Structure 1
Amino acid sequence: MAILDPSDYTVLWLAPLEIELQAARLMLDEHHGTEFPEAKNCIFHAGRMCGYNVIIAHVLDRSYGVAWAASVIGEATIFKNIQFSLLVGVAAGLPNPARKPPIDIRLGDVLVARVEGNDAAIIPYGFGKETENDGFQLMGSGHVLEKTKKVVSSIISTLKLKYGNSADFFLPHYNKIRDKDHQLSGIFMDPGQENDILYQINDDGTEHIVQRRRRPTLLAEIPKPPDQNTLDRRRKRSLDEQSLCIRDNRPKNRRSDNCGSNILPINLDSSTPTSLDEGRKRALDWLRIDQIDRRYNTVKKAYRQTCEWLLRTSEYCDWLNPSHLVEHHGVLWIKGNPGVGKSTLMKFAVRNATNNMEKNMKKAIIYFFFYAQGQDPEKSTVGMYQSLLVQIFEQLPHLQSALDSFDLNTRHNEAPQWSVEQLEELFEQVVQGLGTYSLMCFIDALDECSEIEIRDMMSFFEELSNQAISRNIVFQVCFSSRWYPNITISKGLSLDLGLQKGHKQDILNYIDSKLKIGHDKVAKEVRMELEQRSTRSGLFMWVSLVVGILQRHYDHRGEYGLKKRLDDIPEDLHKLFHDILIRYKHGILTRDMHDKEHNEDELLLCMQCVLFARRPLAPQELYLALCPGASESGFDGMDEADARKLVLSSSRGLAEVTMSKETPKVQFIHESVRDFLLKGNGLYEVWPEVEWRFRGNSHERLKQCCLNYTNMSIGILDGSDLLPKAETGEWIDAKLAAKKAKQRLPFLEYAVESVFYHADTAAGDGVSQAEFFQSFSTADWMTLQYLVRGFTGPVRKRRLLYLLAEHNAANLISRHPEKLFCFKVEDEVWGAPVLAALATKSHEAVCAFMKAHLDIQPPTSHLHGLYKAYCQNGDKQNTIGKSSEFPPNGNILLFLLLTGNELVFAVALASGYCKAYTKFSSNAEGTLLHYAARYWYDVAVRELLAQRAHDGIDTVDERGRTPLSWAVSGGPAIMPRETKTFGRDNPVPLSCAAKQRQKVTVQLLLEQRADKEAADNHGATPLTWASRMGHEGIVQLLLARGAEIEATDENGWTPLSVAVLGFQSSSLKTIERLLEKGANVNATDKTGRTPLSLAVTSQHYRSNVPLLLDPRWGANINIADNNGHTPLSWAKARVGGEAIVPLLQSKGASLTAAETTG
């Protein structure tokens, strides 16, 4: 048989048991065989099902569990393109819908589903522990195995929606194979009632046999998630997705496995929702950024017959050759001085690679050009990853399945705030999934991004290249930058642009084609000198500027003074910029000397606009910023030629209009101009009189430009049909009005959206904004905002403080006279200013509000330290979004708690401005103290106690619990030292602390004279729970205080009985400790079972049974329960019991008794 290609398969189906393997194979539509290279310990059955190429994995030695999983995963790495995996399991458990909240199903001895971050995940059951309210918490050694893939989650959602618990959909799949012969165990039919034993799972995890009528029932796990806003933050909300598993409601045994194993993963073709494609489209839309490739588009293409030398260099040819990947790991780094022409060369390389790519070639070519003059995404690695991923998904659509692994159901249906970690994980998945496809990536201008981000990016790409090499994936990346950041990489090629002969020849070709000064003796001398100086510098930017200067001189004056003009031009690029600006400032280049002052001011304002504008301005916007009165006299727009003349004249050639596909923007001709003005102190050299707070004063001037324009616009628009009717406040046509306003007043949108930004930045640089606070008209600004955004409805009234919060104007907030009123609830969508800041993710504004209140707190207040931590770590728990709404007559303190803003809550409470809200009480959920304690908000609990804001401290909520009973679940971090401040004693807290294995909390409660014999609703005492959880230290503590060692719960179980049933590995020491303290080893429960009888069927029977049979304890080995079962009969009935049957028999267990009662 031909060897199969592992790269063709995309679904891995895990079948631990042979019966599951047989059932799985019967479900395949096609069988491809089992011949794969490198498969040693596993059998990989290949086939096709519903359009998917599927691999069914099974281990040869018929083992299962952790060892089996490790073996399968190790060998399954030969399948490089697996998109998701499926596992079918038969579980020992039953949902209990009557319990509050309903208990879900555990997947037996294998996995547990839980939420990790925002994703559904699975972890080993033995590496965690159940917590209060049926949560599941990782222990120290625990770790997440896998997160649910989006495609699987989508299938589950569809099944729930269409079929719920109906068997009609599942039975045809079962009937398809129920009568098929299985070589080991007959057929897949139901084994019958006699083999279908149901164990009821009690609240504490123990079990008993339930008598029931004959009925086949298979349950799909569908636990309902509670309200996301009201869940325990430490458990990351409850399960919002479940693993794709169908679970039989019987204990795992080989006879009943046959029937359960045939209910397999559902037909993927029929159940995969069409919304999956919609989800991918939405994810792509969220990744996509408008005009993210603006820098690439504005880089001028290479002049004719230039840059082609690159294709012949040894470095570039080696980089292109896949056979040399092992040597350089697919990395090429082009370096050169500022202005040398790196971006032009990179654009040439991108265009050349794209044009030469053969049709239907299995390859993608992607690029990103960092842009320091652009907006944040254009100069950050987050924007880079988003852009690159969109290009990959558009060129190679089959890789969009990588998006399915991300939970994109974000809060309030808002676009996610992508993190570098998320995007790198997604990018890594894409590269690893390339298979036989290749990826070529060009990244330009690393020096125009933060060095910290670039260092992290380079480390990531280096690791990614290593992975690609190990997987035989062709992944090539070409970087370009200045000589910094200086980052060392282990493998890669480097190309110094300034040393390339082809680059120098390009400069000479450019001079020859662009400098048109004739061919006489003077012209030849000028050309020769220019060529010599140009090849020395190697800077295309310098050559371009000098050619322009000489050409203008020749056009105006001919050869007269041409050579002297060249001699006066400095070779240093920064000095050339200085020379251009100084000449213009002093009127050397203007004929009308009386316009000198005007020209100088226009030049300065132009530089300020290009340097400090919130975003690059359009030519019309720059014109109106320089000449705001133009709109008042009737502005009808500018054509492209006029726009370029304006920019060229105002900037003396140092700025240009981009050749953008969309709206043209004004930018410096090169980033080196910005470097000269700011980093090289060029601004102060040209304008020494403005050195003092130049940045702040520049923003102040731009703020004033915005204010002047908005004030003028109100006058122009007053009485026009573009504003709402005065009598009704309604807009005639909001969208049409917005369009007309932007056409008539092109600078209006920028002025409205940026006035707070410039005012805030100026304030941060020390420029007073007192006049701004006094004179700013919020009514006029709101009207204009409604106009430019096309909002409908009456214009809302808002306080300035609320607007500052929305716009993250932290510097203005810190100087605002009413900043302490940030918790004042107003008739607004988000209520209070601080909530507006939280909703708009204005983190700095939130910190400014908090600091304002902490400034009036004593220096010793613990809130100062919490504030610093909040500012550093952010508001990761905050669930308020832009689409959130503050409820009418809502309680701001409760709202802050429910949305995860614990530290803001603490500051609000301490401020004294929220006293009216501390009296909250709900019959269902209790008081604020209940909420804080229930969700383990330790800071909130302590602040409520410190402020004595705890009316109703002794009340119980709908679960019958006091705040103290909730608090002890959180451990000593949340427990007050004096528990009496939490209300009167309650029988629950000590048991809760024992159940949570919180020894320090137990000790604190005992010191406060908590009742050590108090039983919960199930009759379990604190010692019962400590024994059940296998915590020897708490058991010793309680026994030392005289706890009753023979206390029984509702099942008649003693602490020893529940200890042998415990799932903790530490239970053995607990059992031994109880036996040493005199626990009755022959005590029987209500069903007549002894601890030994229970131990035989426990999880740790291999260790528990030998300990109980130690002669020191005097265990009676032949005590039969109420149904006549002895420990030996229980051992023979359980899976794996054969391991202890000989031990029991050697200790005197009667075989006759087992046969008689069995």
Structure 2
Amino acid sequence: MMETPDSKKRTRSDDDELSIRSKRHQSNNGDRQSLAHCDYTVGWVCALPIEMAAAKAILDSIHAPLPRKEGDINTYAFGRIAGHNVVIACLPANQYGTNNAATVASNMSRSFSSITIRLMVGIGGGVPDGGIDIRLGDVVVGNEVMQYDLGKVLPDGQFQRTGRITTPPHTILTAVSKLQADYENAPSRIPSILHDMLDRNEQMASYARPRLPDRLFRHTYKHTQEMDSCERCDLSEVLERPHRETAKPRIHYGKIASGNQVVKDGESRAKMAEALGIICFEMEAAGLHDFPCLAIRGICDYSDSHKNKAWQKYSAAVAAAYAKELLSVIPTQQPKDTEATYATTDPALLQSRMEAVLGSLTFEQIDARHATIKTQHSKTCQWFLGHPKYVEWLEPIHFASHHGFLWINGKPGAGKSTLMKFAYTYAKNRWKAASDATVISFFFNARGVHLEKSTEGMYRSLLFQVIQKFADVLHDSDHIFQARHNQATWDIETLQAVFTHAVTKLGQRQVTCFIDALDECDISEVENMVEYFEELGDQAAESQTKIYICFSSRHYPHIEIRNGLKLTLEDQPGHGEDLEKYVRSKLRAGNSKASQEVSAEILERASGVFLWVVLVVDILNREFRDGRIWAVKRRLRELPDGLSNLFKDILCRDNQNMDDLLLCIQWILYAARPLTCEEYYFALVSGLDPSPENLVRCDRESTTTTAMELYLLSSSKGLAELVKSKKRTVQFIHESVRDFLIKDNGIRQLWPNHAANFESYSHDRLKQCCDNYCNIDISEIVPQGEPLPTASSKLAKELRTRVSEEFPFLDYATRHVLHHANSAEDDIPQITFLNNFALKRWVHLSNLFQQYEVRRYTPEASLVYILAEHNLPSLVRSAVDNGFYAHPKGERFKYPLLVALKNGHEEVLKALQPHCDASDKIFDQNDYEKVFSVPRTTTVLHYAAEHGNLLLLTHLLGFMTPKINARDRKFGHIPLSYAAVNGHEACLRALLSCGAYIEAPDYDSRTPLMYAVINRNEAVVRLLLDWGAQIEAADEEGRTPLSYAAEKGSKDIIQLLLDRGSQIEAADKEGSDAAVVCR
């Protein structure tokens, strides 16, 4: 962990610095933030202008320049990466080498005393000798740096090197290890960082990967001097190297040789590689003894006579991208050790924390549902603001009785969400300018993604809004942030703890909160949430904290709250008046006595359901438009009461275009994601009339946007619409339409022949729609058989855009045809479909739409591998049970079974395991270690235990049990120790059940129990003791679990050890300490 700077005696310069920091301002450079010298914690040194350009281009934001401090001749660039404030310096033009680097670093250290992370980032020459497959564009991370040209000549003429070997600080090496571990679970973000850099900086197109061959000549072969390029070099001297499946840079870790001269000779390179064990040459890092840093080098040549500049810009960008990814895994403020807290009063660090927290809370659809709710009809909902219960809710004098809660109940379609949107918007505008109040909201959405219909999304959204307005509520939250350190995702308990903390920090400020449609969230989650808010309300009433929460939900499921005001929407006179206003405004019936009777009957039968009124008025208006005044009353009498009955009447009345309606409903109910209007139109065409003349490119002149929207209206009989949001997608006009079809047996009433297995039948039909469209001819744009451009290239992006414009449904059809087949498989066998599936064509289309080269398939990709990677277990089972080979080798992760393990697809693994034999080649341990990038010092069993990968561990124990107690070569740990160190209880149980040695000592004679104590994990300590771990075991220094517990101050663990029989008298000082802690 990184140490924080030591506190220093305050000086005049410190006062000046504080003065600067108190005058933060917007500079003349747009919106660039202006910070102070002491705000910068990351120092980044470059040797070349192209390296500095790449560094600046990957900044998340650029800061305003600062004045130079006296004696500093450097010129700096300033910005922010992943919450870190970064200062970048470059060596003077045409001045290279270790001495110049030392001067630049010295000035930087003097001017920016708060720097704790130091990086030397740029290009270097690769050393492909010694069995390391290093290529141009790869990255070398220097875990050691040595100056190879510093030394003395001995009497016998031999050169003796005296340059010392330096290593980066331990703190940054732990971050390197963390990122290296992350690569085991997910691909590097370097390609996406580079893609983003080029997107934002079009003038930097020359920093893209060169379209040049990467040739490595035999080290003894010299370059032909007539030309800079190698066009006239003898290509027979080029070494053959293994084919790489992707152009993505690989990361290498090893020793870097640094010196004051350029190495341009292959033979010299090979000799030094053999003598020194180096993998890269560069010219600056060895000069940074007083600037302990990590050297990161993008490989631009092979340090031989064939050296040229063609790869330099790309390699500089790759190195910068790795540095950015590395910074993203380093917390913006790290404690001195595992027991330090996150406490800070530093404004810059608090700002960094706030930005990091906001970034982790937000999600793309955070306010999507609110945007799609229709605004209230003119002059409606106003009554709510004067309603006695609304007024009482916001009056502080009544808070003790209702604890800040107002609950609005209502029937489906009554207009609850519209009323909530109105109330929220009114409150938001009312308190917009107030510095001591904020208004927040969350609108659950059953048709949305997980975070839109879960309490996790609700808490994240509410917290995001509160922190945005009152950033100081994060202060003094050390215990919460320490508990969440290195946690990849939020959990409900932490979100509730942070929200509670924020509320306690409000003081006299007010938060007004609107939470809509609780019935669109899982009932168990809602019950937990209501219980939490009840406790929060109790605390608020006791502390007189001003937090007001308004809920809305249907009557069912029934949810109660102890304290709070309740209001039933359909019973309110003001709501009835709103319905009357709507009918008077929208019903085109004139002012005759007959029209008044029609209006009165509508209102009498509405039962307070606004949606029923809206639909009925629309139906009757069609009669009026046709001049059928005499028929209006009869039509009204024919219309049934209640939404469900009305939906049935609307859908069945004319029995026209029922095939269109059925396919419309199937797509809206069972699409893998909501469709755009264009996708919807061509999805239905592909299912209803997939003839060659229809499955052609989109003709924008004849198939206009208006035409497609009209077809949506007619095919759904008015019960579907386009969401009014950034990406307009198709959905039902109201959640009650879905309820009618599924919960109220609407499907059975409309299509009784398909009711028994309607979902499987629907997925089978949607699969066919997709398969039909995948056979569309796009050869004029993308000729079949010709190689595609690199996935991340500008050309590939343009190609994807053009294909999507001319064939709007093709992206969806390609991505999800197999998903729909998998969902249909349980009831409708898909083996015929699999046997006839046009695999090569699908691979070509899939590669076209894939944005990352590493995720593309080879032309020889097997169907079983693809099914396994996409987590389609039903299709995997069908395929392998019907003759498809279960273990074809190839692709990125070698075998279907390995890709299932890599991606955590448990059901796919279950489908494949019956087809495994102990002698199969799929049980080659080397393959597992390559796929999971297991360090050479450990086995894949160690890896699984360390990372808590129970699925992988359980699988490995099936054939690696003899190695269950194998030690790693670095620490002498067995897999059990790794599980104990990292607190993975399930993995511990699995290992112990298979015979892992519970007392296995490492090279320091420490046992798994000791590591559990050291890491203060009481649950693991208890588990190991339950399995019989020796409580008095001692390491090389004679230390026992109890002495470690005393050192860590772990009172609960000390008590547990004593209860289990640990002898406090057997220890000397530690025993005394344990006794003190337990008092």
TM-score, reference length from structure 1? 0.55
Decide which of 403, 406, 409 is 1:332's aligned counterpart. Answer: 406
> Does 2:510 align with 1:435?
no
> Does 2:719 align with 1:654?
yes
Report the CA distance between 1:331 and its aligned residue: 0.6
Residue 467 of structure 2 is matched in structure 1 by 393
Cα deviations by residue, 1:162-213 (Å, 9 ceiling, x for unpaired): 99xx999999xxxxxxxxxxxxxxxxxxxxxxxxxxxxxxxxxxxxxxxxxx
> Does 2:439 align with 1:369?
no
> Does 2:678 align with 1:620?
yes
> Does 2:598 align with 1:540?
no
1:959-1038 maps to which residues of 2 (within 5 A)? 959=1003, 1000=1028
The alignment of Structure 1 onto Structure 2 pairs a total of residues equal to 751
Residue 79 of structure 1 is matched in structure 2 by none
Residue 867 of structure 2 is matched in structure 1 by 804
Decide which of 797, 820, 823 is 1:735's aligned counterpart. Answer: 797
Residue 1145 of structure 1 is matched in structure 2 by none
Q: Secondary structure at the match of 2:514?
A: strand
Does structure 2 retain, via aligned residues, the 8 Å contact 1:334–1:479?
yes
Determine the C-alpha separation between the residues in 2 that align with 1:577 and 1:909.
56
Determine the C-alpha separation between the residues in 2 that align with 1:373 and 1:641.
25
Give the partner amino acid of 1:437. R
Decide which of 762, 778, 783 is 1:717's aligned counterpart. Answer: 778
Give the partner amino acid of 1:512. R
Determine the C-alpha separation between the residues in 1 that align with 2:871 and 2:360.
23
Residue 760 of structure 2 is matched in structure 1 by 696
Q: In the superposition, relative to structure 1, how do residues 455 and 819 fare at CA in structure 2: closer, same or farther (>3 Å)?
A: farther
Q: In the superposition, relative to structure 1, how do residues 303 and 966 fare at CA in structure 2: closer, same or farther (>3 Å)?
A: same
Report the CA distance between 1:967 and its aligned residue: 6.8
Cα deviations by residue, 1:187-243 (Å, 9 ceiling, x for unpaired): xxxxxxxxxxxxxxxxxxxxxxxxxxxxxxxxx998986956999xxxxx9999875
Residue 596 of structure 1 is matched in structure 2 by none
Long gaps (5+) in structure 1: 1-19, 31-47, 53-152, 172-219, 232-236, 248-263, 588-598, 859-879, 972-992, 1006-1014, 1032-1061, 1075-1090, 1104-1158
Cα deviations by residue, 1:612-645 (Å, 9 ceiling, x for unpaired): 1122221111111111354515332865533431
Does structure 2 retain, via aligned residues, the 8 Å contact 1:924–1:957?
no
Q: In the superposition, relative to structure 1, how do residues 1068 and 726 fare at CA in structure 2: closer, same or farther (>3 Å)?
A: closer
Cα deviations by residue, 1:737-782 (Å, 9 ceiling, x for unpaired): 121122112212222332333222222x422121243233444334
Determine the C-alpha separation between the residues in 1 that align with 2:887 and 2:1032.
39
Give the partner amino acid of 2:804. K
Residue 525 of structure 1 is matched in structure 2 by 597
Does structure 2 retain, via aligned residues, the 8 Å contact 1:676–1:682?
yes
Q: In the superposition, relative to structure 1, how do residues 644 and 267 fare at CA in structure 2: closer, same or farther (>3 Å)?
A: closer
Q: In the superposition, relative to structure 1, how do residues 441 and 958 fare at CA in structure 2: closer, same or farther (>3 Å)?
A: closer
Determine the C-alpha separation between the residues in 1 that align with 2:929 and 2:573.
57
Residue 653 of structure 2 is matched in structure 1 by 583
Q: In the superposition, relative to structure 1, how do residues 696 and 440 fare at CA in structure 2: closer, same or farther (>3 Å)?
A: same
Give the partner amino acid of 1:483. H
Determine the C-alpha separation between the residues in 2 that align with 1:538 and 1:566.
17
Q: In the superposition, relative to structure 1, how do residues 881 and 487 fare at CA in structure 2: closer, same or farther (>3 Å)?
A: farther
Cα deviations by residue, 1:401-434 (Å, 9 ceiling, x for unpaired): 68985479987xxx93332223222222222222
Report the CA distance between 1:687 and its aligned residue: 0.8
Q: In the superposition, relative to structure 1, how do residues 837 and 455 fare at CA in structure 2: closer, same or farther (>3 Å)?
A: farther
Does structure 1 retain, via aligned residues, the 8 Å contact 2:453–2:521?
yes
Long gaps (5+) in structure 2: 1-6, 23-82, 89-104, 115-168, 183-328, 919-927, 1013-1020, 1047-1053
1:30-45 maps to which residues of 2 (within 5 A)? none
Give the partner amino acid of 1:575. N
Report the CA distance between 1:724 and its aligned residue: 8.4
Determine the C-alpha separation between the residues in 1 that align with 2:615 and 2:1040.
82
Cα deviations by residue, 1:251-277 (Å, 9 ceiling, x for unpaired): xxxxxxxxxxxxx999965xx767x64
> Does 2:520 align with 1:448?
yes
Determine the C-alpha separation between the residues in 1 that align with 2:344 and 2:365.
42
Decide which of 681, 684, 700 is 2:745's aligned counterpart. Answer: 681
Determine the C-alpha separation between the residues in 2 that align with 1:423 and 1:551.
50
Decide which of 811, 820, 824 is 1:762's aligned counterpart. Answer: 824
Residue 489 of structure 2 is matched in structure 1 by 417
- Higher Rg: 1
> Does 2:954 align with 1:906?
yes
Decide which of 622, 627, 641 is 1:552's aligned counterpart. Answer: 622
Determine the C-alpha separation between the residues in 2 that align with 1:679 and 1:1096.
65
> Does 2:808 align with 1:746?
yes
Report the CA distance between 1:788 and its aligned residue: 2.6
Decide which of 641, 654, 663 is 2:706's aligned counterpart. Answer: 641
> Does 2:844 align with 1:783?
yes
> Does 2:554 align with 1:482?
yes
Q: In the superposition, relative to structure 1, how do residues 390 and 230 fare at CA in structure 2: closer, same or farther (>3 Å)?
A: closer
1:247-258 maps to which residues of 2 (within 5 A)? none
Cα deviations by residue, 1:353-398 (Å, 9 ceiling, x for unpaired): 1222252342111111111122222211122222222222333344
Q: In the superposition, relative to structure 1, how do residues 891 and 967 fare at CA in structure 2: closer, same or farther (>3 Å)?
A: closer
Q: In the superposition, relative to structure 1, how do residues 528 and 784 fare at CA in structure 2: closer, same or farther (>3 Å)?
A: same
Q: In the superposition, relative to structure 1, how do residues 439 and 27 fare at CA in structure 2: closer, same or farther (>3 Å)?
A: farther
Larger deviation: 899-908 or 609-618? 899-908
Residue 431 of structure 2 is matched in structure 1 by 357
Give the partner amino acid of 2:520. E
Report the CA distance between 1:646 and its aligned residue: 1.3
Determine the C-alpha separation between the residues in 2 that align with 1:821 and 1:1003.
53
Residue 457 of structure 1 is matched in structure 2 by 529
Report the CA distance between 1:505 and its aligned residue: 0.9
Q: Secondary structure at the match of 1:494?
A: strand
Determine the C-alpha separation between the residues in 2 that align with 1:463 and 1:421.
14
Q: In the superposition, relative to structure 1, how do residues 720 and 997 fare at CA in structure 2: closer, same or farther (>3 Å)?
A: closer
Decide which of 618, 634, 643 is 1:564's aligned counterpart. Answer: 634
TM-score, reference length from structure 2? 0.59
Decide which of 360, 379, 392 is 1:305's aligned counterpart. Answer: 379
Residue 496 of structure 1 is matched in structure 2 by 568
Decide which of 897, 900, 909 is 1:849's aligned counterpart. Answer: 909
RMSD of aligned alpha carbons = 5.6
Decide which of 341, 345, 350 is 2:415's aligned counterpart. Answer: 341
Give the partner amino acid of 1:653. G
Determine the C-alpha separation between the residues in 2 that align with 1:422 and 1:801.
40
Determine the C-alpha separation between the residues in 2 that align with 1:225 and 1:778.
44
Give the partner amino acid of 2:492. V
Does structure 2 retain, via aligned residues, the 8 Å contact 1:654–1:669?
yes
Residue 574 of structure 1 is matched in structure 2 by 644
Report the CA distance between 1:834 and its aligned residue: 4.9
Determine the C-alpha separation between the residues in 2 that align with 1:362 and 1:809.
52
Q: Secondary structure at the match of 1:366?
A: strand
Give the partner amino acid of 2:620. L
Give the partner amino acid of 2:682. L
Q: In the superposition, relative to structure 1, how do residues 341 and 461 fare at CA in structure 2: closer, same or farther (>3 Å)?
A: same
Q: Secondary structure at the match of 2:658?
A: helix
Determine the C-alpha separation between the residues in 2 that align with 1:1004 and 1:686.
73
Residue 1108 of structure 1 is matched in structure 2 by none
Does structure 2 retain, via aligned residues, the 8 Å contact 1:606–1:626?
yes
* Greater RCO (CA < 8 Å, at least 6 residues apart): 2
1:191-210 maps to which residues of 2 (within 5 A)? none
Q: In the superposition, relative to structure 1, how do residues 898 and 805 fare at CA in structure 2: closer, same or farther (>3 Å)?
A: farther
Q: Secondary structure at the match of 1:343?
A: helix
Determine the C-alpha separation between the residues in 2 that align with 1:692 and 1:799.
34
Residue 506 of structure 1 is matched in structure 2 by 578
Q: In the superposition, relative to structure 1, how do residues 1101 and 167 fare at CA in structure 2: closer, same or farther (>3 Å)?
A: farther
Larger deviation: 622-631 or 724-733? 724-733
Q: Secondary structure at the match of 1:549?
A: helix
Does structure 1 retain, via aligned residues, the 8 Å contact 2:84–2:352?
no
Residue 56 of structure 2 is matched in structure 1 by none
Does structure 1 retain, via aligned residues, the 8 Å contact 2:900–2:908?
no
Report the CA distance between 1:999 and its aligned residue: 11
Does structure 2 retain, via aligned residues, the 8 Å contact 1:819–1:852?
no
